[in-house]
């Protein structure tokens, strides 16, 4: 029987901790739970989004296409207003890989953090009126 008790975090590698914390805190609006030169964690709706320092080495490019990365875990962040977020983040200089895709299961857009880590924004479909 396993003794796994929970999700500890989901983390990405970053080269510049201050720059990364500023991005996730100021642009994505996530509260900082802990921060240090080698590890920081932000509260993303109850789960830690971790930032792991490479010690300054650049984060290697992540194979991807317009839909998202081809490997590793893919973090999808939920929003209740994807169009407003895409406009605001784009104005702030954030790179989106493609325009917002509207699918039956929700609206999705993939973007990159300052290290080239790829995240997805998703707005679930609106609840049907009861």
Partner 1 sequence: MTLTAIEDVFYYVSDQARAVAFYTDILGMRVVYQDEVWTGLVLRDDSSTDPVKLGLLAIGEPVPQHVVQIGERKVHPGATLSFRTDDIDLDIARFRELGVPILREIERGSWGAGALFADPDGNWLMLYQPPPEPT
CB of 8 to partner 1, least distance (A): 4
As given in the structure block, the two tokens for residue 46 are: 């109850």
Angstrom distance (rounded) from CA 124 to CA 127:
9
| 8 Å CB contact between 43 and 37 | no
117 binds partner 1 (CB under 8 A): yes
95 SS3 class: coil
Q: Looking at beta carbons only, is 29 or 98 nearer to partner 1?
A: 29
Residues 71-100 that bind partner 1 (CB under 8 A): 71-81, 84-85
For the purposes of burial, counting CB atoms within 10 Å of the CB of 42, is it exposed (0-12), middle (13-18) or buried (19 or more)?
buried
Q: Which residue from 19, 63, 95, 102 is in contact with partner 1, where contact means CB under 8 A? A: 63
Residues that bind partner 1 (CB under 8 A): 1-13, 28-30, 39, 44-47, 49-50, 54-55, 57, 59-63, 69-81, 84-85, 117-118, 121-122, 124
């Amino acid at each position: 029987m396993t003794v796994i008790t929970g999700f500890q975090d989901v983390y990405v590698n970053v080269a510049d901790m201050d720059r990364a914390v500023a991005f996730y805190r100021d642009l994505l609006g996530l509260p900082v739970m802990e921060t240090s030169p080698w590890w920081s964690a932000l509260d993303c709706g109850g789960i830690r989004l971790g930032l792991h320092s490479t010690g300054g080495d650049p984060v290697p490019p992540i194979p991807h296409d317009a839909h998202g990365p081809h490997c590793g875990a893919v973090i999808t962040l939920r929003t209740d207003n994807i169009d407003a977020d895409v406009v605001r983040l784009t104005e702030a200089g954030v790179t989106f890989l493609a325009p917002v895709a509207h699918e039956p299961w929700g609206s999705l857009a993939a973007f990159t953090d300052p290290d080239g880590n790829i995240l997805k924004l998703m707005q679930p479909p609106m609840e049907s009126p009861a």
